[in-house]
Chain A
Amino acid sequence: MDPVSMRQLAAGLAIGLGAIGPGIGIGLLANGALQAIGRNPEAAGQIQVNMILGIAFAEAIAIYALVVALLLKFVA
């Protein structure tokens, strides 16, 4: 395969495979947060704030994968 088509394929694979982990991670985070809110509805505000924080960390990994895909497509 020539480099140009490899580049397009690599861009697609980068974001496609790179979003699997963070997707599962964010699902687990939301699962934990929802269970915690179910046990203790009064603490929902605090739990929500910490959940958003945790989701931001997990999503950052997906963003790294997206940046690699963008680099492959538009810069190299």
Chain B
Amino acid sequence: MNSKNELTERYSGFYRENLEKIGAYSSEYINSFREEAFRKFMLLGIPTRKNETYKYTDLESYFKHDYKSYYMPVESDFIKAEEFRCDVASLDAHGIVLLNGFYPTINGKLRELPGGVWIGSLNEASKKFADNIGRHYGKYAKSESDGLIHLNTSMASDGTFIYVPENVTLKKPVQVVNLVYSTEDIFNQHRNLIIVEKNSNVSIIICDHTLSPQKFLTNAVTEVYVGENSYFDIIRIQNEHNNACKITHTFIHQDRNSRASSNNITLHGGLIRNSTYHYLGGEGAESNSYGLYLVDKLQHIDNFVNVEHAFPHCTSNQLFKGVLDEMATGAFNGRIHVATDAQGTLAYQKNNSILLTDDAKMDTKPQLEIYADDVKCSHGATVGQLDENALFYLQSRGINKRDARLMLMCGFAHEVIQNIKVKPLRERIDNLVMQRLKGELSRCANCMVKCG
């Protein structure tokens, strides 16, 4: 048996062992996807480097680890989390805390905010808002090549649910704190569903943290629907320890004249893979995909972006930048697909990386598939060192070399950070990035979570 099959077999074991528990916990609708998803997972398996979109990322070393269990919460976990939750001071936002992918409150699993907005547990929502869930759940997270998406659908039962009805602007962002905590090495998966109806506006901040030094493997799927004329913004800040492997798949499905931005800020983690899928599903839609990665030691970061121009007159923009130190490695793969009918498409892509050592390595791969004639498309990638001319310029004004390097790196990162619309968050991230680049422990000033 080759190792691909061994791994697939091991993870299918998690499915078989836990199916009954998972099924009993989840709603019927979510359960109805499991069998088909599992069949597809068995067909596709855990991605190997032979899979074109995982060419530069070796999942095997993390997946072959013997995770003790698939995480399903018991009552005592919820009580512990409830206590913990009181310690999490967040920025001025509507807060949600997930523990190992589950919404860890016993009561009040769904909250209503002004304007008829609901936030809370997906599992709870799937029982209460069956209609909405039925219209969107499992509709966008599709893949013919990535088995991990199907593994998630086959087993996931909880995560964040956010519903924004028509004509609502949520002034404060929603902050989701994803905590991973366990006394043994665990595998966990969660599933988020965000529905933004037409003419609405919402920003979501997701903070990924690990709370204990055990080995963790997280495979998370987020589905987002952005209705006509709406504005949606998602910022993910990843700050996990070196033993954590985090795989995220985010599917953003946009209707006409909507705007959506995704921003993946990777500060720390063992192996991180972020796949972001933008589907421009109506005329005049605009999508922005941003990413910033700062990695060192033996860390690995892989950003995969897939932009699907399915309708005319849409605009997409990708900007990914990063600094790689020591032996860190990274990959960027940005795919732009322009359908035959998608005339008047504007699509841009840029990936710039700075390597601070000879051992750091970055692979970058643009992938443009254009089937329409009237299209403006551009892409550019650079991998290099800090600009010596700029360094000397700063030094010649009396700024020490160390500070000058830091200034240049922060400036380099700022091009991504400046796209964050929530101003206090933007300033905080600038600060976190500076701390990170200084080699100091980086965590949000107001966040009690001691990680990194």
Q: Do A and B come from one complex?
A: no
